[in-house]
């Protein structure tokens, strides 16, 4: 089984965020920042909707462990406000460019 080591060096984190901001999209930057700050699996983050963040707290049921988890995100207030301002409650936070069989954007 492959293991993935976390990025532990703060300079590496800053460089990755800078690269994503330059080469990637706002979606990619927010996905990275949220992942670094809350420690969720990518698969769990891709299923998140705007309604899962309320009062700067993320509430999620982890897919692997089936445990409910509440993650405070007050320290990300600026990033959250900027990213979700135009999303509806039922919108996925991280929309894909791919469409499902009903021509709806996949999470």
Domains within the chain, CATH numbers bracketed:
10-84 (1.10.443.10)
pLDDT exceeds cutoff 80 at 1:
no
pLDDT, tens only, 72-91: 999 999 999 999 999 999 99
pLDDT, tens only, 16-69: 999 999 998 899 999 999 998 888 888 889 999 999 999 999 998 888 888 898
DSSP state letter for 5: P
> Residue 59's closest CA among 85, 50, 88?
50
- Residues 23, 75: Cα–Cα separation, whole Å: 25
What is the pTM assigned to this prediction?
0.78
Cα→Cα distances 33→30, 36, 48, 105, Å:
5, 5, 14, 22
pLDDT exceeds cutoff 90 at 107:
no
């Amino acid at each position: 089984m492959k293991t993935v080591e976390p990025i532990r060096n703060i300079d590496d984190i800053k460089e990755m965020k800078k690269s994503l901001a330059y080469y990637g999209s706002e979606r990619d930057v927010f996905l990275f920042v949220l992942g670094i700050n809350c420690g969720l699996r990518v698969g769990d983050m891709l299923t998140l909707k705007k309604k899962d963040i309320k009062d700067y707290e993320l509430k999620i049921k982890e897919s692997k462990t089936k445990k409910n988890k509440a993650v405070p995100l007050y320290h990300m207030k600026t990033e959250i406000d900027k990213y979700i301002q135009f999303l509806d409650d039922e919108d996925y936070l991280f929309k894909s460019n791919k469409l499902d069989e009903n021509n709806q954007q996949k999470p």
